[in-house]
Amino acid sequence: MTAATTMTSRTTAEHELAELQREHGAPLFALMLRLSDGDRQRAEDLVQETFVRAWQHPEALRADAFDSVRPWLLTVGRRLAIDARRARQARPAEVGDAILESARVAADHAERSVATLDVREAVKTLTPEHREVLVQVYFRGASVAEAAAALGIPPGTVKSRAYYALRALRRVLPGYAADLR
């Protein structure tokens, strides 16, 4: 094949494709718009991909088995739209920046471990009486009356020791003061 023949066949194919676009582009776009739920950009992409397939398979467009190529184009476009929808459903949904900014941040595992170590060290600085009350009330979940019975002291003493123990912890753990209220 010579360069002139190649140029002529390429020009002929481009003219045929342009004619195909003029004749069948609007109905194909209308179908793709409906299949893409009104997303014009996606519909345009599907129409373009359909015409790329037509350009890749000119033998299908010249078949004498049908009067018009429109059914072939609509079928190809419909299948492309179905494939695109399935591909979108197979992927997780994309997240925009606005959603990320308002998303709740989960505490880091390492941060929680460090906080636990900090609290353990701070509790060691308390007097044994204050430590016993905190262990009963906050770590074991006992009520004031249950802690008083377990420690053999009056409920008022449990309350005051818990108050002073938390106050001492606030001084030792200034970064955790909001959590100790």
72-102 per-position pLDDT tens digit: 888 999 999 999 999 888 887 766 666 666 6
Q: How far apart are the first and last CA of the chain?
A: 88
Helix axes 144-151, 155-172, angle to 10 degrees: 100
The residue whose two tokens read 């409906």 is 34
User: Using CA of residue 167, residue 169, residue 175, residue 180, what is the dihedral sign?
Assistant: negative
Please check the confidence at residue 4 and state whether its pLDDT lies above 70: no
Neighbours of 51 (CB within 10 A): 20
Over residues 2-9, mean pLDDT: 46
Question: In this predicted structure, what is the pLDDT of residue 6?
Answer: 43
Least confident of 16-30, 52-66, 110-124: 52-66
Classify burial at 77, counting beta carbons within 10 Å of its beta carbon; exposed 0-12, middle 13-18, buried 19 or more. buried
Question: In this predicted structure, what is the pLDDT of residue 26?
Answer: 92
Which among 76, 33, 83, 87 has a CA at the least distance from the CA of 51? 76
Over residues 58-79, mean pLDDT: 79
Compute the 3-state secondary structure of the chain and give helix, strand, coil in percent, each to the nearest 5.
80, 0, 20
User: Using CA of residue 145, residue 148, residue 149, residue 150, what is the dihedral sign?
Assistant: positive
Confidence of residue 7 (pLDDT cuts 50, 70, 90): very low
| Between 35 and 179, residue with greater pLDDT | 35
Question: Which residues have CB under 8 Å from 44's CB, separation 6+?
Answer: 29, 32
